[in-house]
Chains A and B, each alone.
Chain A
Amino acid sequence: MFAWTLRMAWRDSRHSRRRLFLYLSSIIMGVAALVSVRSFGNSLLEAVDEQAKVLLGADLSIRSRTPFDDDDESLLLEIGGNQSRQTSFSSMAYFPDQNGTRLVQVRALEGGFPYYGNLETVPPEAARSFREGPFALVDNTLMLQFQAQVGDPVKLGSYTFRIAGRLSRIPGESVAFSEFAPRIYIPFSFLDETGLIQVGSRVRYTAFIQFEPGYDTENLVEEIEPRLKELELSSDTVQERREGFQRELSNLNNFLSLVGFVALILGGIGVASSIHLYVRQRVETIAILRCIGASPLQSLGIYLVQASIMGLTGSLAGTALGLLVQRLIPAVLAGLIPLEVENSISWDAVAEGLLVGLGAALLFAAIPLLPVRRISPLLALRREYESTGKRSWDYLVLAAYMALGAALLVFSLLHAPTWMVGIGFFGALLLVFGSLFAVAKLAMTLIRRHFPSSWRYEWRQGLANLYRPHNQTIVLMLAVGLGTFFIVTLYLTQQSLLREVELVGSEGRPNLVFFDVQTDQRQGIVDLLQAKGLPIIQDVPIVTMRIKSIGGRAVEELKEDPEYGGARWALSREYRCTYRGQLDATETVIAGNFEGSFVEGSVPVSVEEGIAERLNLAIGDQLEFDVQGVPVEALVGSIRTVAWRSFQPNFFIVFPTGILEEAPQFAVLVTRTDSASDSAMIQRDVITGYPNVSAIDLSMVVQTVESILDRLTFVIRFMALFSIVTGLVVLTGAIVSGRYQRMKESVLLRTLGASRTQIRRIFFIEYFFLGALAASTGILLSLVGSWALTRFVFESQFVLEPIVTLGVLLGVVALTIGIGFANSRGILDQPPLAVLRAEE
């Protein structure tokens, strides 16, 4: 009997295959989004697997914040293998030929690192040859910025190197982030010549180790773990690096899948609405079949088979498209991925795409299809068949709704980094779809209830079309509203984030920071700045120290205590503290009182909220600091919040005045220049006189943040594009579905004497209202959404862009009217007879 169902499904679809395919093509984009992201993601994970060693460049790395001492060295000696050393820190680089300076990350390298993968340089041999003399490898971004050439000099501290090559790729590091801190490699043997390592310099010392193939690094790390801890060294193995990468990549992958998933859901809603209309047009056929003996299940089967075949076709098309799109993703993610990715087809992703696509098509189609079982054969005898009594609930339809909800929830949970995020995503989906649905319903009710009966006929007819039988107001609202929501939310969130960064560069704000200023250099630099007429906006002293004990218990003891509620890393880190008499504008005391000066007894310090939590500190807790050998007794006088993203020196711990003034310290000086050239000039002057001092030009930081943010939003926008295209397909599908009805109406109206212009005006008014309602609802939702995102996720100020928002509103309305008219083309030219004879 299944053969008959198949045959009937085939025959029944004969005149509507194109239309059916249009319905189901709404899932193509969703499937394509999923397949492309997941297939690429799997290629990426494979690449990580294959190139894991390249990510680290060695089998094991051991890092320290202080130079390796004798104990460290003896451990390293025991570990054995091939070893390389790297000392890295931030400093200013000066390009004498171009007369330019920039903050860079200097890496002084000794030994054969990287053992796996290569420093990619131009010329290629420079990766090795720079180690043999006073040569440097300079990051490509930096070379481009200063238009420097290989062979040019570059000055680091008080030593001038020759550029041996430009660095185009460092294994395990992504290109995009080199914009933040471009790197310069120099030979280790020339490090001292630069004179850059001084008090307060933040230096990282790393040993890279390569073992014989087959050596069990994990086992070694397990063995030496206690000693590493004791010596305050941290380690990284290939395995850890791989796992870390895979975790991050899976998160990215899953996030993008979720964005793509929205396209699939929207497509699903399009499928449900089109199938609903399709089945309505088939009611009589189904009733006839039931009359001549088809069972309820057989008649349902015909349409389920059609939906399955179309769902499968849609999924196959989506999968094929997805695999094509996959080729584009490396370009989309350019610079964000630190690996060479060979884009291969992931059959897992293909299977998932087909399964999810077919599942979505069937689940969404089931809701309008299941009632087919209940179509009475009596309808073949009389159309106006009335049922006897009320229809009971269709439990299968209810079950289909529940299955759909469960499937959406499961997908969200599977692809979210945490179950909380999964539930949040699911909730947000319900909220957005639910709001659009509710507004559509409400609008229909309100228009009907308060119908403007005094308006002109075309307006009344256009409005009435919104709630007439077989209307598609809801699905159009969902398609158009969701698309608008996406576009506006992305735009507003991005703008809010950018605005915050841009504020930094705005008038009157500090934009140039000098740090690592030694005590004996401070006055000289202040004089230099003042001579140029530049204000000293901030002059911040910094003293480095460590915590010795908390509440009378030594840090070592606390670290061993399993009951201790704080974080161990927070106990052992070095703290850079300042002292001053008042709070900064970026700080707010949330507990205790800020005391600006110290008289006697324990020193009242102010602790930042986050670090207080990690150190398990409360107001009044006793603390002992080791200020470079001198013990200082303190107590927690206040706890305060800090706006970390304000581009200025911020501190975990602030001391009052009157205690640290005599401690070894260095300073951060903040000023403002009015132009990029002024900034470059003063940087040059300072660096020439004080080579160890570094400068950050905040307008440069703003540019870098903008460029990174641009790149990230481009990725998200790329994924959101799938939803927007799906919205357009669904919109077109819905308008095409209503085409026949529209045609009949227009013929009827024309028969009754309406002019073409009048009918066109009716269409225009209907699409105008639909577009305006959907777009304004989408925009309202996006205002709430982007406000919540900026406020709660990015903890930033929400910025409204009224002109752009209004532009989107008008654009979407115009697009809706445009698509509506494009698909209504020809309707007005139909001769009445053709319509009366047409079947569908």
Chain B
Amino acid sequence: MILHTEQLGKTFSSGDRELSVLSAISFDVKQGSSVSIVGPSGSGKTTLLGLCAGLDRPTQGRIVLNGQDLGTLSEEGLARLRNQHVGFVFQSFQLIPTLTAIENVMVPGELHGATDIGTRAADFLQKVGLGDRFDHYPTQLSGGEQQRVALARAFINRPLILFADEPTGNLDAETSEKVEELLFDLNRENGTTLVLVTHNLDLAAKTERIISLKAGRIVADSPTHSVLGSPA
């Protein structure tokens, strides 16, 4: 089991008011599997993703990622865990604007202290079809290109688990399709577990399992084919 969550809850306080965003969330994710978290806006999808990836701490409950209880780790420990075992893809690409494409891809490896990171980053950029764009800054790239750089960056450290937050949310249909293809290809190739947050059901259908959230609770959790029928 790569990810285990147990009775997760998250409350935000705004002034005197307490707002419960997630409650009683429990699920497990098997190594190498792919899961979609779906639900309407405000259902708590992104919050749940943030908690599972160790970007934030739950108000209640427990998360175990790759055998490590996140609650026991310090900020430094969480950072190390994310660097070594977790990859991210964001809706708004989140490339570092002051770095070139190749530098953006290199950063996780550099943090890891990996050698030959330049060559590996170049390989990855070739793989995502940006062999001629190494030294371009994010502003000089189109949205699709930026997301491909983000994909290369997410996979450079061969993470055990990849969290993707609406990875095609900011892209047009044609580009979306290419990026999705690339995402699943890289995922398969690297044997990475994929946790995907989306409200695009077509994209969700490409994962093996769908967890549906509503108002901060899990309302359904079942294999994709049982929700949408067998894949064609």
* Residues of A in contact with B (beta carbons under 8 Å apart): 1, 4, 7-8, 11-16, 284-285, 288-298, 376-378, 380-382, 386, 388-390, 837-840
B165 contact from A285, A296, A381, A839, Cβ within 8 A? A381
A294 contact from B49, B56, B94, B111, Cβ within 8 A? B111
B46 contact from A8, A298, A382, Cβ within 8 A? A382
CB distance from B58 to the nearest CB of A (A): 9
- Is A285 touching B96 in the complex (CB atoms < 8 A)? yes
Is residue B68 contacting chain A, with contact meaning CB distance below 8 A? no
> Given A11-B103, A291-B88, A378-B50: A296 and B79 within 8 A (CB)?
yes
- Is A14 touching B111 in the complex (CB atoms < 8 A)? no
Q: A296-B76, A298-B79, A839-B139 are known; give 19 further A-B pairs, CB within 8 A.
A: A8-B107, A11-B99, A11-B103, A15-B97, A289-B96, A289-B107, A291-B82, A291-B88, A296-B75, A297-B76, A378-B55, A380-B55, A380-B88, A388-B10, A388-B12, A388-B57, A839-B98, A839-B137, A840-B97
Q: Which residues of chain B from 194 to 232 have any CB-CB distance to chain A below 8 Å in the complex?
A: none
- Which residue on chain B has the smallest CB distance to residue A295? B79
CB distance from B156 to the nearest CB of A (A): 9
Q: Mark B64-87, 1 if CB is under 8 A from A, else 0.
A: 000000000001100111111010
Is residue B123 contacting chain A, with contact meaning CB distance below 8 A? no
Complex CA gap A425/B81 in Å reads 52
Please, which residues of chain A bring their CB within 8 A of the CB of B14?
386
A293 contact from B11, B46, B80, B137, Cβ within 8 A? B80
Is residue B115 contacting chain A, with contact meaning CB distance below 8 A? no
Complex CA gap A118/B40 in Å reads 96
- Which residue on chain A has the smallest CB distance to residue B107? A292
> Given A292-B111, A378-B55: A388 and B79 within 8 A (CB)?
no
Is residue B180 contacting chain A, with contact meaning CB distance below 8 A? no
- Which residue on chain B has the smallest CB distance to residue A282? B98
Is residue B126 contacting chain A, with contact meaning CB distance below 8 A? no
- Is B153 touching A292 in the complex (CB atoms < 8 A)? yes
- Is A293 touching B94 in the complex (CB atoms < 8 A)? no
- Which residue on chain B has the smallest CB distance to residue A286? B96
Q: How extensive is the interface on chain B, given as a class?
A: 35 or more
Q: Mark B8-23, 1 if CB is under 8 A from A, else 0.
A: 0011111000000000
Complex CA gap A11/B79 in Å reads 21
Please, which residues of chain B bring their CB within 8 A of the CB of A14?
98
- Is B55 touching A377 in the complex (CB atoms < 8 A)? yes
- Is B55 touching A293 in the complex (CB atoms < 8 A)? no
What are 7 A-B residue pairs whose CB atoms fall within 8 Å in the complex? A8-B107, A11-B99, A14-B98, A377-B55, A380-B88, A388-B57, A389-B13
Please, which residues of chain B bring their CB within 8 A of the CB of A12?
96, 98-99
- Is B107 touching A285 in the complex (CB atoms < 8 A)? no
Complex CA gap A293/B80 in Å reads 6
Complex CA gap A292/B81 in Å reads 9
- Which residue on chain B has the smallest CB distance to residue A284? B94
- Is B79 touching A294 in the complex (CB atoms < 8 A)? yes
- Is B108 touching A292 in the complex (CB atoms < 8 A)? yes
Please, which residues of chain A bring their CB within 8 A of the CB of B108?
292-293
B12 contact from A288, A289, A295, A386, Cβ within 8 A? A386
Please, which residues of chain A bring their CB within 8 A of the CB of B86?
293
Please, which residues of chain A bring their CB within 8 A of the CB of B81?
293
Q: Which residues of chain B from 86 to 102 have any CB-CB distance to chain A below 8 Å in the complex?
A: 86, 88, 90, 94-99
B94 contact from A8, A288, A297, Cβ within 8 A? A288
A376 contact from B55, B112, B165, Cβ within 8 A? B55
- Is A376 touching B79 in the complex (CB atoms < 8 A)? no
CB distance from B181 to the nearest CB of A (A): 23
- Is B110 touching A295 in the complex (CB atoms < 8 A)? no
B139 contact from A11, A295, A376, A837, Cβ within 8 A? A837
Please, which residues of chain A bring their CB within 8 A of the CB of B84?
293
- Is A11 touching B98 in the complex (CB atoms < 8 A)? yes
CB distance from A262 to the nearest CB of B (A): 35
Complex CA gap A410/B107 in Å reads 42
- Is A291 touching B55 in the complex (CB atoms < 8 A)? yes
- Is B79 touching A293 in the complex (CB atoms < 8 A)? yes
- Which residue on chain B has the smallest CB distance to residue A290? B79
CB distance from A390 to the nearest CB of B (A): 8
- Which residue on chain A has the smallest CB distance to residue B12? A386
Complex CA gap A16/B153 in Å reads 24
CB distance from B47 to the nearest CB of A (A): 9
CB distance from A371 to the nearest CB of B (A): 14
CB distance from B191 to the nearest CB of A (A): 20
> Given A285-B98, A840-B97: A378 and B56 within 8 A (CB)?
yes
- Which residue on chain A has the smallest CB distance to residue B13? A389
Complex CA gap A758/B98 in Å reads 34
Complex CA gap A8/B96 in Å reads 11
CB distance from B19 to the nearest CB of A (A): 9
Is residue B7 contacting chain A, with contact meaning CB distance below 8 A? no
> Given A12-B98, A386-B12: A7 and B110 within 8 A (CB)?
yes
Please, which residues of chain A bring their CB within 8 A of the CB of B83?
292-294
Q: Mark B91-133, 1 if CB is under 8 A from A, else 0.
A: 0001111110001000110111100000000000000000000
Complex CA gap A473/B94 in Å reads 32
- Is B90 touching A380 in the complex (CB atoms < 8 A)? yes
Is residue B190 contacting chain A, with contact meaning CB distance below 8 A? no
> Given A11-B98, A381-B165: A388 and B11 within 8 A (CB)?
yes
- Which residue on chain B has the smallest CB distance to residue A296? B75
- Which residue on chain B has the smallest CB distance to residue A390? B13
CB distance from B187 to the nearest CB of A (A): 18
Complex CA gap A288/B108 in Å reads 11
B113 contact from A1, A295, A377, A389, Cβ within 8 A? A1
Please, which residues of chain A bring their CB within 8 A of the CB of B46?
381-382
- Which residue on chain A has the smallest CB distance to residue B96? A285
Please, which residues of chain A bring their CB within 8 A of the CB of B11?
388
Please, which residues of chain B bring their CB within 8 A of the CB of A7?
110
- Which residue on chain A has the smallest CB distance to residue B10? A388
- Is A15 touching B98 in the complex (CB atoms < 8 A)? yes
- Counting from the closest, the 5 A-B pairs by CB-CB distance are A293-B83, A295-B79, A839-B97, A377-B55, A293-B82
- Is A388 touching B94 in the complex (CB atoms < 8 A)? no
Please, which residues of chain B bring their CB within 8 A of the CB of A15?
97-98
Please, which residues of chain B bring their CB within 8 A of the CB of A288?
94-96
Complex CA gap A84/B148 in Å reads 95
CB distance from B120 to the nearest CB of A (A): 15
Please, which residues of chain A bring their CB within 8 A of the CB of B75?
295-296
Complex CA gap A293/B78 in Å reads 8
Complex CA gap A388/B46 in Å reads 15
- Is B13 touching A292 in the complex (CB atoms < 8 A)? no
Complex CA gap A503/B113 in Å reads 78
Complex CA gap A288/B97 in Å reads 11
A380 contact from B13, B80, B94, B98, Cβ within 8 A? B94
Complex CA gap A180/B56 in Å reads 77
Complex CA gap A7/B14 in Å reads 39
- Which residue on chain A has the smallest CB distance to residue B113? A1
- Which residue on chain A has the smallest CB distance to residue B154? A292
- Which residue on chain B has the smallest CB distance to residue A298? B111
CB distance from A754 to the nearest CB of B (A): 27
Complex CA gap A7/B76 in Å reads 20
Please, which residues of chain A bring their CB within 8 A of the CB of B96?
12, 285, 288-289
Complex CA gap A293/B109 in Å reads 10
Please, which residues of chain B bring their CB within 8 A of the CB of A294?
79, 83, 107, 111
Please, which residues of chain B bring their CB within 8 A of the CB of A285?
96-98
CB distance from B160 to the nearest CB of A (A): 13
B110 contact from A4, A13, A840, Cβ within 8 A? A4
CB distance from A606 to the nearest CB of B (A): 74
B76 contact from A295, A381, A389, Cβ within 8 A? A295
Complex CA gap A265/B113 in Å reads 40
Please, which residues of chain B bring their CB within 8 A of the CB of A298?
79, 111
- Which residue on chain A has the smallest CB distance to residue B97? A839
Complex CA gap A500/B75 in Å reads 67
Please, which residues of chain B bring their CB within 8 A of the CB of A292?
82-83, 88, 107-108, 111, 153
Complex CA gap A1/B110 in Å reads 9
Complex CA gap A12/B97 in Å reads 9
Most buried by A among B10, B88, B137: B88
